[in-house]
Amino acid sequence: MERTLILIKPDGMQRGISFEILSRFERRGLRLAGLRLLQVSQDMAETHYGEHIGKPFFEGLVSYITSSPIIAAVFEGTDAVTAARTTMGGTKPTEANPGTIRGDFGLEIGRNVVHGSDSPESAEREIGIFFGDGSSLYDWGRDVDSWIFEDE
């Protein structure tokens, strides 16, 4: 099972659509392995967006992600990163397909309501940032898993 990190960003929280967003990943078939409501600290934000340090938009990213509580979730499943990214839609909401989260709920790239890891390696790094040692993540099975995953 591959895992991926999903963040409901401040605009998703402020608009009251966080559980609509999370439910789309569950309906896709991904299994929830961890969930946290948290206020992102300056240090956590700078670590998360570390690859953008020095870019003109870095300070705006940090300011934005720390402006409101967020929800951090870990979902797992077959090709979870790709499945989640397809469910989210393109980063630029006006180019995202209808029926995707960003296509349905976003208009601007800086307010696209959700973040998802872009690779299994990024997922591992990001899950470490938001869930530490992973002791709050759960390995569990659902009765429906054998109808979703071929190897369950």
Q: Mind telling me the catalytic residues? A: 115
End-to-end CA distance of the chain: 10
Rounded Cα distance, 142 and 152, in Å: 10
Rounded Cα distance, 117 and 127, in Å: 9
Element (H, E) at 38: strand 31-38
Q: Is-contact 103 96, C-beta < 8 A? A: yes
Rounded Cα distance, 144 and 115, in Å: 27
